[in-house]
Amino acid sequence: MQRQSERQNTPKTVVRRDRRGNIKRITTGTKEYTFNERTKTWKSPEPKKYQSKKYPGRSKKHQHDLRLHATKAELLVCKIFRETGIKHKFQHVIVTDKESKEYSIADFVLPALRIILEIDGYYHFDDFQKKIDEQRTGKLEKTTGYKVVRLTNEQVINTPMMVVDLVYDHMKGIIQRDFNR
């Protein structure tokens, strides 16, 4: 037989039914589950934070953390792109291998120009990290077809308009190529 204190701590279960008698909603303590007729599955109302069907594992959480802890150079480029009206995606997840669900997070993606802009900090100058960056650049260019451009934090901070010039030069090249066809 249960004690009085144990009975008070057990969550109360409430079942709600529709007109036909089918179970539509079950409430257990603080959690509530609803039945989706179309998919024939039960759904919890609590959203899974930073989870995505498209990108597995911790990619959304990682992307969120990178946005929160952006470097001064990244924030400067973001501000420049906003002020000049250049459409961009900041800390964007790119799936590099669908089968193994491998992904990379690019600093900036300019979809209209097909450019990935990477801004490298001091730790990218290490020989080991340089090799990893070269492999990652090759993989990104191969899987996406985008051109990967790497700049250092110092280049961006010392000459911020160089980023705009680089983008506009690339844009001119695209326009000339399309015009000469």
**Whole-prediction pTM value?**
0.63
d(CA 36, CA 23): 11
The residue assigned the tokens 């792109």 is 81
> Is the confidence at residue 134, as pLDDT, over 70?
yes
pLDDT digits (tens, 9 = 90+) for 8-20: 555 566 777 766 6
Q: Classify residue 140 by burial, with Cβ atoms within 10 Å: 0-12, 13-18, 19+.
A: buried
Average pLDDT, the chain: 78
Q: Identify residue 138 by its one-letter amino acid code.
A: G
pLDDT band at 154 (very low <50, low <70, confident <90, very high): very high
Indicate the helix (H) or strand (E) that contains 116.
strand 115-120
Higher pLDDT, 2 or 158: 158
Maximum distance among all Cα pairs of the chain, rounded to whole angstroms: 88
Confidence check: pLDDT of 51 > 50: no
Question: Domains in the chain, please, with CATH?
Answer: 4-43 (no CATH), 59-179 (3.40.960.10)
For the chain, give the number of residues. 181
Say whether pLDDT at 117 is over 90. yes
- Report how far residue 147's alpha carbon sits from residue 96's, in angstroms, rounded to the nearest whole number: 14
Q: How far is CA 39 from CA 34, 49, 172, in A?
A: 12, 22, 49
Is it the case that residue 120 has pLDDT exceeding 80? yes
Give dist(CA 156, CA 149) in Å, integer. Answer: 12
Token pair 């459409």: residue: 87
| 122 close to 112: Cβ distance less than 8 angstroms | no
Using one digit for the tens of pLDDT, what is the confidence trace for 55-72?
Answer: 555 567 777 777 777 889
Residue 159 has a pLDDT of 92
Q: Which pLDDT value is given to residue 45? A: 59
pLDDT at 98: 72
Q: What is the mean pLDDT of residues 123-151?
A: 88
